[in-house]
Structure 1
Amino acid sequence: MTILPAFKNAGLTRPIQTKLFIGGEFVDAIGGGTIDVLNPFDNSKICEIAEAREEDVDRAVEEAKAAFPAWSRMDAADRGQLLLKLADAIEANAEELIRLEALDTGHPVRDARKLDVPRTARCFRYFGGMADKVEGSLPPVYPGFINYVQREPLGVVGQIVPWNFPLMFTSWKMAPALAAGNTIVIKPAEITPLTTLRIAELMKEVGIPDGVVNVVPGYGHTAGARLSEHPDVKKIAFTGSTATGRRIVQASAGNLKKVQLELGGKGPNIIFKDAFLPAAIGGSAWAIFHNQGQACIAGSRIIIHEDVADEFTEKFAALAKSIRLGNPLDTNTEMGPLTSKMHQQRVLEYSKIAADEGGEIVTGGKAPDSAELENGCFVEPTIVRATIDSRVCQEEVFGPFVTVSTFREEEEALEMANGVIYGLGSGLWTQNLSRAHRFARDIQAGMVWINSYKVVHPASPFGGIGESGYGREMGFEVMHEYTQPKSVWVNVDAQVPPHYER
């Protein structure tokens, strides 16, 4: 392999892998197809990657199936040690991963350095420590019997990773599955596969056995569909849109495989009149503008008490206007481009929808007026005053686009918060302790942040309800997602049980 110009320009000094990773080897796609990977900063071509199709997925599943017996029976502590070594390798190669993620996705290097790479290493390290701590149970049953329940890995797990946080979500998917003893076929998004392929290289370097992890970047309608329907795949874990999640559920019915879905969101961010406004303003900007708003948990609906709405909106808009857009490889850039031109156009279309519905665009709503940025996938930070029943308040925009709606009474705020089909992340800002806990109880969402937003940790379960999906990433709960219980009955007295007697 040679170092391509795009990688040299990004400060990367070694060749980057662009082939499929199957059975411990980097290989071309069987059909020879490739996919162009573009730089969202200027839409220039970074490289071509091998395009996995159905036959490539079949080969990857066979390799994962063959590797499963030995991996699942390995001492759990030894599996954990390999994940700990991988965490160390990620940290040792941090700068390369930071630049590669920025180049491929548009994440500013300052965010990738502070968040994406450290969170990835932390996730592998957390579940490396978890590997030998998954316990069964000993239920109290009939006299003369011992019943023990052990947790067993599922087998071959298919995982489909989205394009918004490809590096971090690779760790969220892989780490618990591997700790539990499963083998993996993972499909990164075809537009952002590069850091997942680099993680595969590091896995081989630290000694994770061949076939345990297989990486098959390709399109959803081919590689993703085959993975979802494959009869030897025991589970699909998917992060992405609700519409695609429904198709995965349908495809999974052939062998009734287990399905875990982390889907869309339309997070309410409630600001009460007693909120400490400086914190609420900064926290709300983080909730929606981090990663260009491309986050399912984004606080994309600000629901604010009318007494403080004007002051908040004025200061919030001033902050939004001050955000520095630019090349994600520049350490001064605070917000990079969206990840693709197609998605940029989709987000911009919502500004037109807002205007057509009578909403007021407070700031943004367009691509920036800058010759330097004109070829990229940029959208200005956008704030829209809108009624809660409007499309922009109901549909997931998935960009730097936030609505502001007002309330007077608490009951109204709660009704507005719960008035969408999604139930993923939510937040509220108040100094009233009783109100905080009351709303945390009554908001219909899988996660609630109080006087904060978008805080995540490997120890805390992550997931939603309603059309935001089901199942949980992270925390101890995810180990149950990647294992199944087996109940074993032992007749310790070796006598005929009373209910068997005639």
Structure 2
Amino acid sequence: MNTQISFGGKAVSEKNDAIDVQNINTQLFIDGKFIAAKNGGTIDVLNPANGELITKIAAAEAEDVDLAVKAAQKAFPVWAETPAAERGRLLLKLADLIEENLEELAQLESLDTGHPIRDSRRLDVPRTAACFRYFGGMADKIEGSVIPVEQGFLNYVLREPIGVVGQIVPWNFPLMFTSWKLGPALAAGNVVVMKPSEITPLSTLKIAELIKQAGFPDGVVNIVPGYGQTAGQRLADHPDIGKISFTGSTQTGRNIVNASSGNLKRVQLELGGKGANIVFEDADIDAAVNGAAWAIFHNQGQACIAGSRLVLHEKIADQFLQKFIALAESIRLGNPLDADTEMGPLTSQAHRDKVLSYAKIAVEQGGKILTGGVAPDDESLKNGFYVLPTVVEAKATDRVAQEEVFGPFVTVLRFKDDAEALEIANSTEYGLGSGLWTNNLQRAHRFAKKIKAGMCWINSYKRVNPGSPFGGVGKSGYGREMGFEAIHDYTEVKSVWVNVDAQIPPHFQRGES
């Protein structure tokens, strides 16, 4: 059985010089250059641990996006014709540079997002490098196919790049999602205009520096941080963008689909989730407790795949909750740049307030807060956007069991038998991540097949790998990040028919002239 990372063990202490925020690049990256926004606008980037200003970044608007698209269009013919092995070499070089700059990237990510530095060092940065390395290796392995058709004809299928693609990166894992989107798009021969979140743009802008250093041609990657209603809207409705890839909320995903209809661009959406994490009566309770904590409290619960519905068999529910609540209450909150911190702040004050509002909603609907539901009573954390790990028991139809809270907030639901467990698991409109804990192999495979979700983990949770497709169904979106499915989503299929030796009689018999 695969137990998850323990929250109880002491974090490895690492001493490193703090990054100098004055050296952070804050401009738009267009056509291989860092430039100011045309209208001179800026956006404040705040430290979620104390609410203080980190820096100001350039705010892209529609005209800046247009400039970036023109640069990408200019770069596309050369990049598409670049030998695939060379495209792969540049992606591999970028992966090497990310590893060489691990500490700076980790600190940037933690400073900007609130991720605990131990997670940024051992998870976020290594996973980012691994993703670029995977797609670097895949670049020259994109294959077509030969189709058996009628006698005398050769029919083969090509996979060709789409062209200019727009990509919108969310604020919860900006560094990692930058690689998930750029990797397959570039490997397939596309060029990119990317908008990182205006809340957490810093690590993506650092990747732009490394892209330049790696030697990618100018215009192949353009990065335009800005607000969704301006820069994001222009990416979605731009007539010269062939595909839009978006990770974020379901409502924004709907808006992007509507905006994309002008030129019928391809759309790939990775949206919200309300993952069911089911613990059966025969599960290894200690492993399930540890795994369930990882599923919901990692990155402060700010993950679309979070196991935010903890579905417990009634026979083991009380025993499980006693251990789970004790673990939740032991998690160390603190400065994300402290190596001993296990859970940092939420990424913005507005989001912290939204998460706390769900504690009130739970009580109003008859739910019971078993622990948490408030900001910590700690003087050292009072200016940050912190929420205590929260466990709420409720009914499957309550709002806290149906709506995505996106915080360190888990809803406990109880079940009597397998049929009820499956009914609860499939009782939301989301379908992204799911998990189950059991030693019954037949049950495990049966539930993996019947749960309506794009991913299912058995005796584990939240495992990801560049080769494994990531995405959802229902209101969790469509299309896939990572794996061969991601490469396929960034290519156009062309069917080519060759008459080798077929004798085709005339279809129309013409009369004598």
Q: TM-score, normalised by structure 1?
A: 0.97
Task: Give the aligned partner of residue 211 of structure 2.
Answer: 203
Describe the SS at the equivalent of 1:243: helix
Describe the SS at the equivalent of 1:372: helix
Structure 1 regions of 5+ residues with no counterpart? 1-7
- Whether contact under 8 Å (1:12, 1:99) holds in the other structure is no
Ranges of 4+ aligned residues in structure 1 off by more than 2 Å = 8-14, 498-502
Deviation of the 1:142 alpha carbon: 1.3
Give the whole-Å Cα distance in 1 for the aligned partners of 2:342 and 2:41: 36
* AA in 2 matched with 1:439: F
Matching residue within 221, 237, 240 for 1:232:
240
Matching residue within 426, 448, 457 for 2:456:
448
Deviation of the 1:499 alpha carbon: 6.9
Task: Give the aligned partner of residue 8 of structure 2.
Answer: none
Deviation of the 1:144 alpha carbon: 1.1
Give the whole-Å Cα distance in 1 for the aligned partners of 2:335 and 2:421: 39
Give the whole-Å Cα distance in 2 for the aligned partners of 1:325 and 1:184: 38
Describe the SS at the equivalent of 2:483: coil
Task: Give the aligned partner of residue 254 of structure 1.
Answer: 262
Matching residue within 50, 58, 63 for 1:42:
50
Asked if residue 476 in structure 1 is aligned to residue 479 in structure 2, the reply is: no
Asked if residue 68 in structure 1 is aligned to residue 76 in structure 2, the reply is: yes
Task: Give the aligned partner of residue 4 of structure 1.
Answer: none
Asked if residue 56 in structure 1 is aligned to residue 56 in structure 2, the reply is: no
Asked if residue 159 in structure 1 is aligned to residue 167 in structure 2, the reply is: yes
Matching residue within 37, 41, 44 for 1:29:
37
Structure 2 regions of 5+ residues with no counterpart? 1-15
Task: Give the aligned partner of residue 5 of structure 1.
Answer: none
- Whether contact under 8 Å (1:12, 1:96) holds in the other structure is no
* AA in 2 matched with 1:132: D
CA deviations 1:332-375 (Å, max 9, x no partner) are: 00000000000000000000001111111000000000110000
Deviation of the 1:501 alpha carbon: 6.5
Give the whole-Å Cα distance in 1 for the aligned partners of 2:108 and 2:450: 42
Asked if residue 19 in structure 1 is aligned to residue 24 in structure 2, the reply is: no
Asked if residue 366 in structure 1 is aligned to residue 374 in structure 2, the reply is: yes
After the TM superposition, which residues 29-428 of structure 1 pair with which residues of structure 2 at under 5 Å, given as runs?
29-428=37-436
Describe the SS at the equivalent of 2:420: helix
Deviation of the 1:16 alpha carbon: 1.1
Deviation of the 1:166 alpha carbon: 0.2
Q: TM-score, normalised by structure 2?
A: 0.95
Give the whole-Å Cα distance in 2 for the aligned partners of 1:191 and 1:46: 11
CA deviations 1:190-249 (Å, max 9, x no partner) are: 010000000000000010000000000000000000000000000000000000000000
Describe the SS at the equivalent of 2:67: helix
CA deviations 1:122-145 (Å, max 9, x no partner) are: 000000000000000110111111
* AA in 2 matched with 1:84: L
* AA in 1 matched with 2:296: I
**Structure 1 residues 227 and 200: alpha-carbon distance in aligned structure 2, compared to 1, 3 A threshold:** same
Give the whole-Å Cα distance in 2 for the aligned partners of 1:168 and 1:12: 22
* AA in 2 matched with 1:360: K
* AA in 1 matched with 2:379: A
- Whether contact under 8 Å (2:21, 2:54) holds in the other structure is no
* AA in 2 matched with 1:95: E
- Whether contact under 8 Å (2:21, 2:55) holds in the other structure is no
How many positions carry a matched residue from both structures?
A: 494
CA deviations 1:62-83 (Å, max 9, x no partner) are: 0001100000010000000000
Give the whole-Å Cα distance in 2 for the aligned partners of 1:14 and 1:201: 15
Describe the SS at the equivalent of 1:404: strand
Task: Give the aligned partner of residue 11 of structure 2.
Answer: none
- Whether contact under 8 Å (1:237, 1:260) holds in the other structure is yes
Give the whole-Å Cα distance in 1 for the aligned partners of 2:175 and 2:464: 15
After the TM superposition, which residues 454-493 of structure 1 pair with which residues of structure 2 at under 5 Å, given as runs?
454-493=462-501
Task: Give the aligned partner of residue 497 of structure 1.
Answer: 504
Deviation of the 1:500 alpha carbon: 3.8
RMSD (CA atoms): 1.1
* AA in 1 matched with 2:324: F
Describe the SS at the equivalent of 1:191: coil
Deviation of the 1:492 alpha carbon: 1.2
CA deviations 1:266-290 (Å, max 9, x no partner) are: 0000000000000000000000000
Give the whole-Å Cα distance in 2 for the aligned partners of 1:479 and 1:379: 38
Give the whole-Å Cα distance in 2 for the aligned partners of 1:114 and 1:150: 39
Give the whole-Å Cα distance in 2 for the aligned partners of 1:395 and 1:260: 22
* AA in 2 matched with 1:445: A
Q: What percent identity do the matched residue pairs reach?
A: 67
